[in-house]
């Protein structure tokens, strides 16, 4: 009865062992040996009425040794299972870390691209400031020309008819300058907002990295973190699109401002030519006036000389009459 119980227990444990076995060659060999032993044990159990006590004792010892060997192999299998699980965990951790590194690299590239766009915006701002300085100088020259045109003499009154047009152009230039200043302030506010957004993304990325370091043991949060990274990347991709449209609009407005500046330059050259012609006319008028004055002075002197001669002739005539 004891032998049968031990045999049943070995058969049950052997079946459990065969269900949990691995594909290793050593384990396959042990399984084949266990099957052969179970078969011999079953045959011995069927013939247990024919066995003697020494044979039964030997069989029990063999069963005990088989149980010990089974426990040893079970322990080895447990260790192998733990090693396999550790390898799987390490592989999963490496895969997760590689994805995080890839996302961090992409975020760094987007940050560098945003910095390059910021430098481009700075260069555009410098170009705009230079054009504004040129426009201010042009407006000052136009104002100077207007003052000179308003202070000319009567001969330059013909040019005063165009002063209303010049004033209108100057007012238009001032209004455009005010509009440009307002737009420049709005653009600076947008750039500040964009920098704040980039800083916020960097902070979020840092927070995500800290959370990622704490979540190595929390595998169920990996999908949530992946989705959050994807949202960050989509946001970082949308912001460059907005910047690209803003830069295109800035370039268009810059071209319009250049055209306005060139038109103002042409108008200033036209006004300079008109003023030059007016100055030439004034010089000619002044020369004519000087000639007339000189001629009048000469005629006056000649008249005085003739009067003096007439007086002398009159005195001579009176002297002659007295002598007669």
Residue 40, φ and ψ in degrees, nearest 5: -65, -35
pLDDT in tens, 189-234: 766 766 676 677 667 667 766 665 665 555 555 566 667 656 655 6
CA atoms within 13 A on the CB side of 195: 12
C-alpha to C-alpha distance for 320 and 314, rounded to whole angstroms: 10
Helix H, strand E, coil C: the string for 105-138 is HHHHHHHHHHHHHHHHHHHHHHHHHHHHHHHHHH
Per-residue pLDDT reduced to its tens digit, 119-130:
766 766 676 666
pLDDT band at 51 (very low <50, low <70, confident <90, very high): low
Could you give the percent of the chain with pLDDT greater than 70? 45
Residue 249's pLDDT band (boundaries 50, 70, 90)?
confident
Give the integer Cα–Cα distance in Å for 89 and 97: 12
**Confidence band of 306 (pLDDT split at 50, 70, 90):** confident
Place of tokens 């003697």: 52
pLDDT in tens, 268-297: 788 888 888 888 888 888 888 888 888 888
pLDDT digits (tens, 9 = 90+) for 109-164: 877 876 877 776 676 667 666 666 666 666 665 566 666 556 555 555 665 565 56
pLDDT at 121: 66
Contact 68, 74 (CB under 8 A): no
Inter-CA distances, 267 with 5, 48, 162, 272, 279, Å: 118, 127, 12, 8, 18
pLDDT for residue 48 is more than 50: no
Amino acid 9: pLDDT: 52
Query: How far is 65 from 71, CA to CA, in rounded Å?
Result: 10
Where do the structural domains in the chain lie, given as residue ranges?
2-86, 111-295
Given a cut of 80, is residue 29 above it in pLDDT? no
- Reply yes or no on whether the pLDDT at 246 is more than 80: no
More confident residue, 25 or 131: 131
Instruction: Pinpoint the alpha helices (H) of the chain.
Output: 2-19, 25-46, 53-150, 163-214, 222-323
Q: What is the pLDDT of residues 56-102, one digit of tens each?
A: 788 888 888 888 888 888 888 888 888 888 888 877 777 666 766 77
| Other Cβ atoms closer than 10 A to 18 | 13
Rounded-to-integer distance, Cα 324 and Cα 309, Å: 23
pLDDT value at residue 159: 53
Identify which of 127, 145, 124, 138 has the alpha carbon closest to the alpha carbon of residue 173.
138
pLDDT at 236 over 70: no
Q: What is the mean pLDDT of the chain?
A: 69
**pLDDT given at position 177:** 62
- The DSSP result for 10-50, as a single string, is HHHHHHHHHHS--S-HHHHHHHHHHHHHHHHHHHHHHTTTT
Buried b (16+ CB within 10 A) or exposed e, 59-84: beebbeebeeebeebeeebeeeeeee
The 3-state DSSP class for residue 151 equals coil
**CA 171 → CA 27, 98, 175, 176, distances in Å?**
97, 62, 6, 8
């Amino acid at each position: 009865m004891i032998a049968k119980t031990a045999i049943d227990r070995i058969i049950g444990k052997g079946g459990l062992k065969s269900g949990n076995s691995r594909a290793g060659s050593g384990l396959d060999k042990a399984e084949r040996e266990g099957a052969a032993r179970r078969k011999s044990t079953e045959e011995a159990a069927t013939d247990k009425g024919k066995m003697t006590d020494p044979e039964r004792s030997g069989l029990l010892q063999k069963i005990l040794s088989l149980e010990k060997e089974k426990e040893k192999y079970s322990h080895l299998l447990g260790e192998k299972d733990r090693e396999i699980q550790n390898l799987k965990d390490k592989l999963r951790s490496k895969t997760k870390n590689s994805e995080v590194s890839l996302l961090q690299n992409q975020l760094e590239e987007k940050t560098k691209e945003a910095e390059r766009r910021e430098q481009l915006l700075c260069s555009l701002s410098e170009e705009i400031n230079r054009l504004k300085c040129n426009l201010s100088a042009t407006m000052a020259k136009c104002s100077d020309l207007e003052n000179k045109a308003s202070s000319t003499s009567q001969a330059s009154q013909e040019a005063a008819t165009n002063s209303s047009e010049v004033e209108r152009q100057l007012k238009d230039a001032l209004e455009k300058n005010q509009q440009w200043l307002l737009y420049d302030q709005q653009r600076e506010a947008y750039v500040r907002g964009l920098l704040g957004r980039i800083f916020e993304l960097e902070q979020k990325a840092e927070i995500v990295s800290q959370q990622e370091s704490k979540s190595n043991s929390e595998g169920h949060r990996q999908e949530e973190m992946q989705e959050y990274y994807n949202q960050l990347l989509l946001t970082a991709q949308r912001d460059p699109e907005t910047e690209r449209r803003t830069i295109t609009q800035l370039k268009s407005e810059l071209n319009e401002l250049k055209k306005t500046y060139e038109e103002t330059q042409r108008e200033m050259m036209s006004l300079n030519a008109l003023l030059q012609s007016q100055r030439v006319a004034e010089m000619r008028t002044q020369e004519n006036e000087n000639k007339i004055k000189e001629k009048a002075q000469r005629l006056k002197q000649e008249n005085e000389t003739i009067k003096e001669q007439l007086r002398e002739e009159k005195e001579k005539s009176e002297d002659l009459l007295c002598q007669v």
